Structure 1
Amino acid sequence: MRAYLLSSLILLVLAANSFAQKPDWENPKVFKQGTEKPRATFYLFNSVEKAKENQPFSSENYVLLNGNWKFHWSEHPDKRPLTFFEEGFDVSGWNEISVPSNWQLHGYGYPIYTNWKYPHKKSAPKIKGDFNPVGSYKTQFNISDLWDGKQVLLHFGGAGSAYNVWVNGKKVGYSEGTKTPAEFDITEHIRKGSNNLAVEVLRWSDGGYLEDQDFWRLSGIERDVYIYATEEIGIEDVFVKAQLNKSDYQTGVLNLEIDVSGTEARGFEIEMTLENLDGSVVLSEQKALTAELNNQSVVFENTFRDVKAWSAEAPNLYRLIVQLKKDGKTIQATALKIGFRTVEMTNGKLLVNGKPILLKGVNRHDHDPKTGHVVSREMMLKDVLLFKKYNINAVRTSHYPNDPYFYDLCDEYGIYMIDEANIETHGYGYGSLPAGPTTWKKWRGMYIYRMERMAERDKNHPSIIMWSMGNESGIGKNFLASYKWLKAFDDTRPVSYERAEFIFKKKLKSKRRYTDFHSQMYMPAQKVKEKYADKGLLEERPFYWVE
Structure 2
Amino acid sequence: MSTRIFLLLLLLIANSTFCVYAQNNINLNGTWRFALAQTDKEAEGLSEFYVPGFKSNKLQSVPVPSNWEILGFEEPVYRGYPDDKGSEGFYLREFEIPADWNKKRVLLHFGGVWSSAEVWLNGTHLGQHNSGYTSFAFDVSRALKKKGTNVLAVRVRQVSREYKFDTFDDWTLAGIYRDVTLEAMPSNRWLDQVTTQTVFDKNYDDADLKVRVMVNDRNKQTIPGNYPTPGEPYHLRLTLSDKEGNSVAARTIEVPAHTSTGRDISLTFRVESPKHWTAETPYLYTLKAELLENDQAIHSRVEKIGFREISTEGGVFRINGQTVKLRGVNRHDEHPDVGRATRHEHWLEDIMKMKEANINYVRTAHYTHAKGFIELCDELGMYVGSEVSLGGAGHLREGPSYMDAALVRTYETITRDINSPSIVYWSVGNEDPLTSFHLTSIKVLKALDSTRPVLIPWRHESWLPEEIDILSAHYWQPHEYDTFAAQANRPIITTEYTHAYGTEGFGGLEARWKALTRHPAGAGGAIWMWADQGIKTPTIRPDKKYDNIVRDDKYMRIDAAGWDGIVDSYRNKTRDFWEVKAVYAQVYPVVDKMEFTPGQSTVRIPIQNDFDFTDLNNIKIDWSLREDDKTLASGTSTINGKPHAEGVFDLPIKEIKRVTQGKTYYAWFIFTGADGQEITRKAVELCPLNIPDNLLDGKEHIVLTKDEMTTVDVGNVRYVFNPMTGHLVSAALHHNLLITELTPTLWEKPDHGAASVIGNKLIRYIPDMNRNTPSVKSWNISEEADKVTIDAKVEYIVNDTTSFTTDYQYTISTDGRLNVRYEILPKVFAPSLPIVGMSLKTMPEMNNIRWLGLGPWNAYPNKRSAPILGVWGGETGSADVIGKKATRWIERSGSVGGVHISHVGYMGHNAASPDVINILSEVLSKPEKGRKPDDSFPLLLTDTGEPFIGEFGISLK
Match of 2:53 among 69, 73, 88: 88
Q: CA deviation at 1:70?
A: 1.1
Structure 2 vs 1, CA of residues 536 and 88 (structure 1 numbering), >3 Å: closer, same or farther? closer
Amino acid at match of 1:533: A
* Equivalent residue, structure 2, for 1:201: 156
Q: CA deviation at 1:544?
A: 4.1
Q: In the alignment, which residue of structure 2 is the partner of 1:523? A: 476
Counterpart check, 1:236 vs 2:192: yes
Q: Within 5 A, what are the aligned runs for 1:74-223?
A: 74-80=37-43, 81-91=46-56, 94-114=59-79, 118-121=80-83, 127=84, 131-191=85-145, 192-223=147-178
Q: 1:359 to 1:235 in 2, by over 3 A?
A: same
Match of 1:393 in 2: 360
Percent identity between matched residues is 30
* Residue identity matched to 2:474: M
Q: How much does 1:279 deviate?
A: 2.1
Higher helix share: 1
> Is the Cα–Cα contact under 8 Å of residues 266 and 289 in structure 1 kept in the other structure?
no
What SS does the corresponding residue of 1:71 show, helix, strand or coil? Answer: strand
For structure 2, the 5+ residue unaligned runs are 1-18, 220-230, 492-518, 528-957
Cα deviation digits, residues 509-547 of structure 1 (max 9, x gap): xxx455211211111221111344157776996554355
User: Aligned AA for 1:220?
Assistant: G
* Unaligned stretches of 5+ residues in structure 1: 1-55, 122-126, 429-435
Paired letter, 1:156: F
1:252 partnered with 2:174: no
1:250/1:69 Cα in 2 relative to 1: closer, same or farther (>3 Å)?
A: same
What CA distance in whole angstroms lies between the structure 1 residues aligned with 2:151 and 2:284? 41
Aligned residue number for residue 341 of structure 1: 308
Matched residue type, 2:238: M
Tell me how far 1:263 sits from its aligned partner: 3.6
Distance 1:120 1:535, change over 3 A: closer
Output the CA distance in 1 between the equivalents of 2:78 and 2:21.
Answer: 39
Q: Cα deviation per residue 1:54-79 (whole Å; 9 max; x = unaligned)?
A: xx999611111111111111113443
1:491 counterpart SS class: coil
User: Which position in structure 2 is the counterpart of 1:18?
Assistant: none
Shift of 1:144: 1.8
Residue aligned with 1:97, SS: strand
Are 2:316 and 2:490, in contact at CA under 8 Å, matched by a contact in 1?
A: no
Post-superposition shift, 1:135? 0.4
Distance 1:263 1:290, change over 3 A: farther
Question: 1:87, 1:196 within 8 Å by CA — same for their partners in 2?
Answer: yes
1:437 to 1:513, Cα distance in 2 relative to 1, 3 A: farther
The count of corresponding residues between Structure 1 and Structure 2 is: 466
After superposition, the Cα gap between the structure-2 partners of 1:532 and 1:310, relative to the gap in structure 1 and judged at 3 Å, is: closer
Cα deviation, 1:459-493, whole Å, max 9, x if unaligned, reads 00011110011212333111111111112221111
Residue in 1 that maps onto 2:486: 533
Q: Does 1:278 align with 2:231?
A: no
- CA deviation vs aligned residue, 1:416-443 (integer Å, no higher than 9, x gap): 11011122126x2xxxxxxx12222111
Q: Quote the Cα distance in structure 1 between the aligned partners of 2:426 and 2:107.
A: 28
Q: Which amino acid aligns with 1:100?
A: P
CA contact (8 A) 2:429 2:438 kept: no
Q: State the Cα deviation string for residues 301-348 of structure 1 (Å, max 9, x = none).
A: 121221111111111111111111112111122222110011001222
For residue 171 of structure 2, give the secondary structure of its aligned residue in structure 1. Answer: strand
User: Quick one: distance in 1 between partners of 2:158 and 2:314?
Assistant: 47
1:60 aligns with 2:23: yes
Note the alpha carbon deviations across 1:32-56, whole angstroms, 9 max, x for none: xxxxxxxxxxxxxxxxxxxxxxxx9
Q: Please name the residue that 2:387 is paired with.
A: 420
Higher mean alpha-carbon deviation, 351-360 vs 466-475, is at 466-475
Alpha-carbon shift at residue 281 of structure 1 (Å) = 1.6
Asked if the contact 1:516/1:541 (under 8 Å) is kept, the reply is: no
Partner residue, 1:483: 442
Whole-Å Cα distance in 2 between the matches of residues 346 and 235 of structure 1?
Answer: 35
Q: Describe how 1:320-331 pairs up with structure 2 within 5 A.
A: 320-331=287-298
Q: Is 1:441 aligned to 2:400, yes or no?
A: yes
Q: Kindly tell me: are residues 312 and 84 of structure 1, through their superposed partners in 2, closer, same or farther at Cα, counting changes over 3 Å? A: same
Distance 2:29 2:123 in 1: 20
TM-score, normalising length: structure 1: 0.81
Find the counterpart in structure 1 of residue 833 from structure 2: none
Give, as a single letter, the amino acid of the residue that structure 2 aligns with 1:309.
H
Counterpart amino acid of residue 165 in structure 1 = V
In structure 2, the CA distance between the partners of 1:438 and 1:303, relative to structure 1 (3 Å rule), is same
Q: Distance in 2 between matches of 1:388 and 1:132?
A: 39
For 1:372, the aligned partner's letter is G
Partner of 1:301: 268
More displaced, 359-368 or 381-390? Answer: 381-390
* Matched letter for residue 257 of structure 1: R
Structure of greater Rg = 2
Q: Give secondary structure in 1 for the equivalent of 2:96.
A: strand
The structure, 1 or 2, with the larger RCO (C-alpha pairs under 8 Å, 6+ apart) is 1
Classify the secondary structure of the residue corresponding to 1:196: strand
Q: Cα distance, 1:223 vs. partner? A: 0.3
Whether the 8 Å contact between 2:36 and 2:90 is mirrored in structure 1 is: yes
TM-score by length of 2: 0.47
Q: Which moved more, 1:251-260 or 1:535-544?
A: 535-544
Structure 2 residue corresponding to 1:384, chosen from 351, 357, 363: 351
Deviation at 1:120, TM superposition (A): 2.3
Secondary structure of the equivalent of 1:257?
Answer: strand
Q: Cα distance 1:241–1:534, how it changes in 2: closer, same or farther (>3 A)?
A: closer
With 366-375 and 286-295 compared, the bigger mean Cα shift is at: 286-295
Q: Retained in 2: the 8 A contact 1:267–1:327? A: no
For 1:289 and 1:537, the matched residues in 2 are separated by 43
1:463 is aligned to 2:427: no
CA RMSD of aligned residues (A): 2.1
Cα deviation digits, residues 2-38 of structure 1 (max 9, x gap): xxxxxxxxxxxxxxxxxxxxxxxxxxxxxxxxxxxxx
**Distance in 1 between residues matched to 2:482 and 2:207, nearest whole Å:** 38
Partner of 1:69: 32
Q: Which has the higher strand share?
A: 2
CA contact (8 A) 1:272 1:284 kept: yes
- Measure the CA separation in 2 of the matches of 1:60 and 1:455: 28
- Report SS of the residue matched to 2:235: strand
* Counterpart position of 1:47: none
Q: CA deviation at 1:91?
A: 3.5
Q: Secondary structure at the match of 2:355?
A: helix
- Does the Cα contact within 8 Å between 1:63 and 1:228 map onto a contact in 2? yes
3-state SS of 1:148 partner? helix
In structure 1, the residue matched to 2:496 is none
* 1:111–1:216 Cα contact (<8 Å) kept: yes
Cα displacement string for residues 258-308 of structure 1 (whole angstroms, at most 9, x for unaligned residues): 111224461421100111122222111112222233111221112122111
Structure 2 Cα separation of the partners of residues 281 and 537 of structure 1:
40
CA contact (8 A) 2:327 2:525 kept: no
Instruction: Supply the AA of the counterpart residue of 2:96.
Output: N
CA distance in 2, matches of 1:535, 1:177: 35
**Quick one: distance in 2 between partners of 1:223 and 1:466?**
24
Whichever residue aligns with residue 177 of structure 1, its letter is S
Return closer, same or farther for 1:59/1:386 CA change in 2, 3 Å cut-off. farther
